């Protein structure tokens, strides 16, 4: 459970760093390096987030909840298929 909390906190810190960088950009008009430092912090936080998610997936603590992921791993086995007919399924041609 600590992993999901760490991912959520890192994600929130990423957005706070983004908001801080926008604030510094507007307030300082590009005259200070605070916007650049905010960008550096965002890069570090993004790398930490990628590492945390990668660790979670590799350790099995994080799993996909997507409906198509279970079908790709365990495809259904279809047995007793009815024979296919050779009929043309288009509309019949009128007779003269």
Q: What is the mean pLDDT of residues 12-32?
A: 89
Residue 41 lies in a domain: yes
- The tokens for 96 are 């003269």
Q: What is the extent of the structural domain holding 35?
A: 2-60
Nearest partner of 3 among 45, 65, 57, 64, judged by Cα: 57
Q: What is the 3-state secondary structure (H, E, C) of 17-50?
A: HHHHHHHHHHHHCCCCCHHHHHHHHHHHHHHHHH
For residue 91, the model assigns a pLDDT of 61
pLDDT digit string, tens, across residues 56-96? 999 988 888 777 766 555 555 666 666 666 655 566 666 76
The DSSP symbol for 85 reads: P
Residue 16 lies in a domain: yes
For residue 85, the model assigns a pLDDT of 64
The Cα 85–Cα 66 span in angstroms is 36
Q: What is the pTM of this model?
A: 0.64
For residue 14, the model assigns a pLDDT of 96
Mean per-residue pLDDT over the chain, rounded: 81
For residue 9, the model assigns a pLDDT of 96
Q: What is the mean pLDDT of residues 25-41?
A: 86
For residue 1, the model assigns a pLDDT of 84
Rg of the chain taking only CA atoms, in angstroms: 27
Number of domains composing the chain: 1
């Amino acid at each position: 459970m600590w992993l999901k909390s760490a991912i959520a906190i890192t994600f929130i810190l990423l957005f706070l760093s983004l908001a801080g960088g926008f604030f510094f950009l507007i307030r300082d008009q590009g005259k200070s390096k605070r916007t650049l430092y905010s960008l550096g912090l965002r890069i570090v936080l993004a790398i930490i987030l990628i590492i945390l998610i990668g660790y979670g997936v590799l350790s099995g603590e994080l799993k996909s909840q997507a409906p198509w992921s279970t079908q790709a791993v365990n495809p259904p086995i279809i047995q007793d298929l009815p024979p296919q007919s050779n009929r043309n399924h288009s509309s019949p041609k009128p007779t003269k």
